[in-house]
């Protein structure tokens, strides 16, 4: 059985592969550059459950920090529970797959950290 562990956030709607998360830290107001938030995704403060934390993310091609609010959850699933999204329809999205849940909850969307970084930076640059 081939398993991977994912870090879930955003009320378990989204996840990234835990392998890319170097550390999880409390917010440091002095941190420079400032961590990137998901504010450009239109997440309302009513979605926020508790204080923020910063994920230090490192991939072969990028190193950056993601600011998150709410609970983080670690989830290990078999590779058979991860279903690829058809890229021909969702090439502009950082989401790459669905992670099916054993508990029959709504599946979680797996995000590619490099695509996520690019899309958040692009959104922040827009007026």
Partner 1 sequence: MSIPTLLPVGLDDHELLVDASLVREVLGEVAVIRVPQADLDVPGVFLWNGQAVPLLDLGHCLGLASAHSRAKTRTIVGKVNGELVGFGVHELSELFTVSETEFKPPRVHELPFASAEVQRDSSVSTVLDLPKLVAHVMHIKSVE
Q: Which residues sit at the interface with partner 1, rule CB under 8 A?
A: 14, 41, 83-86, 88-90, 92-95, 97-98, 100, 106-107, 109, 111, 119
Residues sharing a CB contact under 8 Å with residue 51, sequence separation 6 or more, in sequence order: 26, 27, 69
**15 in Cβ contact with 96 (< 8 Å):** no
CB of 32 to partner 1, least distance (A): 27
Helix (H) or strand (E) holding 98: strand 95-99
CB of 67 to partner 1, least distance (A): 16
Distance CA 39, CA 36 (A): 9
CB of 55 to partner 1, least distance (A): 17
DSSP conformation class of 106: P
**97 in Cβ contact with 82 (< 8 Å):** yes
Residue among 37 and 93 whose Cβ is closer to partner 1: 93
Residue among 10 and 35 whose Cβ is closer to partner 1: 10
CB of 28 to partner 1, least distance (A): 27
Residue among 50 and 92 whose Cβ is closer to partner 1: 92
């Amino acid at each position: 059985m081939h398993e991977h562990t994912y870090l879930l956030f955003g009320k378990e709607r989204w996840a990234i592969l835990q392998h890319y998360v170097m550390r999880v830290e409390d917010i440091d107001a002095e941190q420079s550059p400032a961590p990137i938030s998901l504010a450009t995704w239109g997440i309302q403060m009513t979605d926020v459950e508790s204080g923020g934390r910063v994920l230090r993310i490192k991939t072969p091609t990028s190193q950056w920090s993601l600011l998150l609010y709410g609970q983080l959850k670690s989830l290990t699933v078999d590779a058979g529970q991860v279903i690829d999204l058809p890229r021909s329809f969702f090439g502009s999205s950082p989401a790459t797959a669905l992670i099916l849940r054993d508990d029959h909850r709504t599946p979680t969307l797996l995000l590619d950290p490099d695509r996520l970084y690019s899309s958040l930076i692009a959104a922040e640059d827009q007026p």
